Structure formats: structure tokens, C-alpha cells
């Protein structure tokens, strides 16, 4: 056990985290979305999307079609919501207003929108349009974020494996 190999290991760990971060940011630039991959947290789009499903987003489109499933964040609330576009009104100068609804909800989303608005602004509030789907794998992140011990266990495991792992 010499200092050089220990430092080498530390460097490898740094490299791992840096490349993961670069991959994420690269994806964000390519898709023009701050969070290009999201995990479904609620059942409002069932049976299409269940809790824990992974969605891949794209945000280079300047307008949405009716029927698109979009992820939006209302101003002032930091909760991303995944719902379907029911109406679009497009005034051709890069401004589009949308009305959304969850497939599993009885009514539309007006009660979720910011201060008495009855439409969503495509350019300001839509984070991305759902293009791809992978079932259930995101449940790990829900489990980690909702279970405090899981968080520590994961961090501990990462640290241990990085330090103890041979070669």
C-alpha cells in the first residue's frame, strides 16, 4: 500500500463522478431540457405511466401538438408534473398556450396552474415532451429519496467499493 496507488484510486473515483456529471449535462444540452430523464412520481397518468417509470424528454420543439405528454413546472412550484396536452392555442409569434390533463384525473389542470391562470405557457413552463418510456427502473430513486437509511447505505457502499476495490 503506497501513496501513489491510493491517490490513483481517488482519481478514479473523481473520474467516475465527473464523467457521470458530464453525461447528464451533455444530455441536457442535446435535448435542451434541464432534466432530460424524469421518474414518474404520481399515478395521475395511469395506466400509461405508473409510479417509478422512467421517461425520456425532448425539448427542442418550439410547439406542442394536442395529445403530446408534456412535463411542466408551474412558476413558483418546483414539482414537475407529467400530463397530456388537451388543447393548444398558437399565435404564431413563438407563443403557445396549452391546457393539460392527467389521463387518470377527472378534470383538467386549471387548479394546478399558477395564480389564477387557466393556460400553461409552452415556452416558460414546459420542461420537455415525453418521447421514450422505460418501465419501473426508476423506482430505485424513489426508494432512495424516500428512505433516509437507503441514502446513507448507498453513499457508504459507493465509498467503500471505491476505496477497497482492488486494481
Residues 129 to 158: which contact another protein by CB under 8 A?
130-135
Candidates 22-30, 73-81, 125-133, 142-150: pick the segment binding another protein (CB under 8 A). 125-133
> What's the number of CA atoms in the CB half-sphere (13 Å) around residue 89?
8
Buried b (16+ CB within 10 A) or exposed e, 25-35: eeebeebebeb
Size of the site for another protein (CB under 8 A): 35
**Residue from 33, 17, 38 nearest 138 by CA:** 38
How far is it, in rounded angstroms, from Cα 19 to Cα 15?
Answer: 6
**Size of the chain, expressed as the number of residues it contains:** 167
**Of positions 2, 78, 92, 115, contacts another protein by CB under 8 A:** 92
Q: Determine whether 44 is an active site residue.
A: yes
Binder of another protein out of 60, 77, 87, 124 (CB under 8 A): 87
* Site residues (vs another protein, CB under 8 A): 47-48, 65-69, 84, 86-92, 97, 103, 107-108, 110-111, 116, 118-119, 130-135, 161, 164-167
Active-site residues, by number, are: 44, 83, 109
Amino acid at each position: 500500500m503506497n501513496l501513489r496507488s491510493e491517490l490513483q484510486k481517488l482519481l478514479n473515483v473523481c473520474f467516475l463522478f465527473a464523467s457521470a456529471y458530464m453525461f447528464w449535462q451533455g444530455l441536457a444540452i442535446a435535448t435542451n431540457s434541464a432534466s432530460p430523464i424524469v421518474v414518474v412520481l404520481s399515478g395521475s397518468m395511469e395506466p400509461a405511466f405508473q409510479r417509478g417509470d422512467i421517461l425520456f424528454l425532448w425539448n427542442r420543439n418550439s410547439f406542442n401538438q394536442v395529445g403530446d405528454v408534456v412535463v411542466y413546472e408551474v412558476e413558483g412550484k418546483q414539482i414537475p408534473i407529467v400530463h397530456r396536452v388537451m388543447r393548444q392555442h398558437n399565435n404564431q409569434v413563438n407563443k403557445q398556450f396549452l391546457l393539460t390533463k392527467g389521463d387518470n384525473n377527472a378534470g383538467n389542470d386549471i387548479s394546478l396552474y399558477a395564480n389564477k391562470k387557466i393556460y400553461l405557457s409552452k415556452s416558460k413552463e414546459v420542461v420537455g415532451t415525453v418521447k421514450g418510456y422505460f418501465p419501473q427502473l426508476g423506482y430505485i430513486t424513489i426508494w432512495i429519496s424516500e428512505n433516509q437509511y437507503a441514502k446513507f447505505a448507498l453513499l457508504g457502499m459507493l465509498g467503500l467499493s471505491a476505496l477497497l476495490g482492488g486494481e
